[in-house]
Amino acid sequence: MQLKEIKIGHGKRLIFSSIISRIVVIMILCALAALTDYNNQKLAYNNARLVEMSSGSTSKFYYETADRFFSLHKEPLQASQKNAGMTWSIRLMGVPFTDPIAAISVLVRRHSMETGFALGLLAPLSMALLFGRVFCSYICPASLMFFFISRIRKLLLRWFLFPEWSAGKGLAWGVLAGGLAVASIFSHGVWSLILPYFAIGQTVFHGLAMGSLSFTVASLVIFAMLDLFLGKQFTCRYVCPTGRLLGFIGTHSPAAIRRKASDCLEPCTNCQDVCPMQVNPKLDETVDCSMCGECMVVCPTQCLSLGWRHTLQLHPKE
Amino acid sequence: MLLPLLNKLPFGSRLKRLLRPPGALPADAFADACIGCGQCANVCPNKCISLQGLDEGLENLGMPVISARSKGCLLCMACTVVCPTGALQKTSSDEDGMSSVKMGVAVVSFDVCYSYAGRTCGVCYRACPLPGKAMRLGLMETPIIDPNQCTGCGLCEQSCVHMPQAIRVLPIEEWNKNKEAYDIPPPLPPSPFARSKK
């Protein structure tokens, strides 16, 4: 029986949706940080007019919007308190999500885990098992920053010559091991200096909820410099241990970018050149593919598509 | 002059004890469990929990901390409910849960306190969430603290009208270490009938 080909989307649509979904994630982070203010006003005033008198009409608007949303549930304050956290460990309407790195870090140091904490691993791990590194191009707010930095890099490359430094996969594993060692000596908080998305979460939280500039901006600047001068999406490829771990988990993910070998042009290397993760779709490599869809845009014959891996066999190599 | 800078070094502040949110595990177990995700600071309706920066060393990086003088803890226990790793043990928000909390112990500086100087104040007693238990009032509204019942929420320190504060919350580790130095019986306030010196 021939399996029907599933086309989830065209390349440009994928890039667009990845940008939109990451912007939504950033907006959720900002909203969570702003919820701290809402909790405070809810407890202190519990009255839209008093909020306006003390903090202005903009505050009143946000307060009323949040109040309307959380009043759908029984207790607005308790409903809003079910949402908290940042990309490192987050809770949305009571559903916990845990970063696998956080779980490893706690396991290494404490040798035990809370049940809710372990349950929070379910969604990230199953997503990695099914789709590979989709976290990197659809959820990670830092990779949105790196996406735009890679565009700036492309622009600067017209006038300057930056090297494309290539480190091995071992670097990210080394960062993971080193981070675990540092975290077990000091505190798990040092990951906020190592993981770009945790750094963004900290920055947003410190900026919006506490009104202070976070130290993690420094590490974000360092990551941005790495990306700008050492290689396209250098941090995602070689430094970020989460991406490496998720890529390792999703090595045999059923969803993948597939190539119709009969349509593929022999001398063309567009997909290979454009791939931010330096995966080579031409050789049917799918490990570390984050399904960003950039290769599908540049492919002149539209031979690349997103679908299930086992349907690759329908297009045998010539 | 350089001595304070030593505390900024990574290992310099290892002995520093900070006031943690309610239900926190003992210092070492807390450092093992807390991942610094900031969920406690996020749900705190009083905004008293803040995430530590680099200023207390890498050991406390990203950890929740309460500075009682700027804001004390209301003991609403919202943070203990959301904590994903069990660094803050789940506690009920009724009176039993409140009295089971042991964040620290309040200590009065008798030579600074208005009431012990004969000027009746009693503000800290009004702020205490466990009045009559954790804090009793003596003559001239002098605060008398029961170290076994005080939760260390810091509301008394926040409300103290004297500057600098006459009542301070010591983190429980600090209290346990230097109990003898801090646990001294309160003196009697001066008699209100004594003639004031000109």
The tens digit of pLDDT for each residue in A5-36 reads: 444 447 788 888 899 999 999 999 999 998 88
E strand intervals along B3-116: 49-51, 64-66, 104-108
Which letter does DSSP use for residue B21 in this model? P
Test mutation, B18, B43, B46, B59, chain A, max A CBs within 10 A: B43
What is the pLDDT at residue A2? 44
Kindly state the average pLDDT of the residues B132-153. Answer: 90
Question: Residue B17 pLDDT > 80, yes or no?
Answer: no
DSSP A201-246: HHHHHIIIII-S--THHHHHHHHHHHHHHT-TTHIIIII-HHHHHH
The tens digit of pLDDT for each residue in A51-110 reads: 888 888 888 888 888 888 888 888 888 888 888 888 888 999 889 999 999 999 999 988
Question: Residue A314 pLDDT > 60, yes or no?
Answer: no
Smallest Cβ–Cβ distance between B86 and the set A96, A114, A187 belongs to: A114
Task: Give the position of tokens 């700008």.
Answer: A228
Smallest Cβ–Cβ distance between A40 and the set B39, B46, B81 belongs to: B46
Question: What is the distance between the alpha carbons of residues A103 and A76, in angstroms, rounded to a whole number?
Answer: 31
Smallest Cβ–Cβ distance between B43 and the set A39, A120, A205 belongs to: A39
- B57 CB neighbours in chain A (<8 A) are 186
Taking Cα atoms as reference points, which of A145, A148, A167, A134 lies closest to residue A286?
A134
Smallest Cβ–Cβ distance between B42 and the set A32, A43, A187 belongs to: A32
The 10 Å CB-count burial string (b at 16+, else e) for A109-145 is bbeebbebbbebbeebbebbeebbbbbbbbbbbbbbb
pLDDT band for B4, please (50, 70, 90 cuts): low
Report the residue of chain B nearest A31, measured CA to CA. B42
CB contact under 8 A, A91 and B34: no
What is the pLDDT at residue A6? 44
Question: Residue B155 pLDDT > 90, yes or no?
Answer: yes
Which of residues 29 through 68 in chain B touch A, CB cutoff 8 A?
A: 31-47, 50-54, 57-63
Kindly state the average pLDDT of the residues B12-29. Answer: 78
Q: Which two tokens stand for residue B29?
A: 């177990």
Kindly state the average pLDDT of the residues A211-217. Answer: 87
The 10 Å CB-count burial string (b at 16+, else e) for A265-283 is eeeeebbbebbbbbbbbbe
CB contact under 8 A, B84 and A109: no
Least confident of A15-24, A179-188, A297-306: A297-306
pLDDT band for B183, please (50, 70, 90 cuts): confident
Question: What is the distance between the alpha carbons of residues B122 and B142, in angstroms, rounded to a whole number?
Answer: 7
In the predicted model, what is the mean pLDDT of chain A? 85
Question: What is the distance between the alpha carbons of residues A56 and A197, in angstroms, rounded to a whole number?
Answer: 32
Q: Do A191 and A101 form a contact (C-beta atoms < 8 A)?
A: yes
Question: What is the distance between the alpha carbons of residues A266 and A216, in angstroms, rounded to a whole number?
Answer: 46
